[in-house]
Amino acid sequence: MHISFKNKRLERSITDPKDLVKTYGIQRAKKIKQRYLEMKASATLEALSKIPATRLHQLSGDRAGQWAVSITGNERLCFVILHDPIPTLPDNSVNRSEVTDICIVFIGDYH
C-alpha cells in the first residue's frame, strides 16, 4: 500500500529508527515498526486484514472514518483511507480489496 502521514513529525517518529525509539521506547517501537512494515508490504487493506496480529478494525464515534491496527494493549495505529471516493461494495461497506492508499494520523491510546 501507499502510505502517507498526517504531518512530517509523525512520519519522522515512525520512519526514523532513532526517533522511533526516542518517541515510543524500545518495546513499543518494535511493534510500531512491525505494523508499519506489514502495512507497506500489504498490497491492499484486505491483505492487511489477513494478518491476525493487526486486528484491523474500522472505528466509530469521534474517530468515525478512521481505521486502526493494534500495537500493544490499548495502543493503536490509526489511519484514514485516501481514495476519493472510497471504494464500496453493494452493501455500502468498504471494499478493502481496492484500498491501496492510506494516511497514518495517530499512534496511541484513544480509549
Q: Report the SS3 class of residue 109.
A: coil
User: Which residue, among 35, 106, 37, 24, has the nearest Cα to 66 in the 3D structure?
Assistant: 106
Expressed as residue numbers, the domain containing 62 is 2-108
Average pLDDT, the chain: 96
Q: Which residue numbers in the chain have pLDDT < 50? A: none
pLDDT at position 59 is 96
Q: 93 phi and psi, to 5 degrees?
A: -80, 160
Task: Return d(Cα 36, Cα 12) in angstroms, integer.
Answer: 13
Residue 13, CA atoms < 13 Å, CB-side half-sphere: 18
pTM of the model: 0.93
Domains: count for the chain: 1
CATH code, domain with 102: 3.30.2310.20
The DSSP 8-state label assigned to residue 63 in this structure reads G
Q: Model confidence over 12-34: pLDDT tens digits?
A: 999 999 999 999 999 999 999 99
Q: Which amino acid is at 47?
A: A
pLDDT at position 23 is 95
pLDDT at position 42 is 97
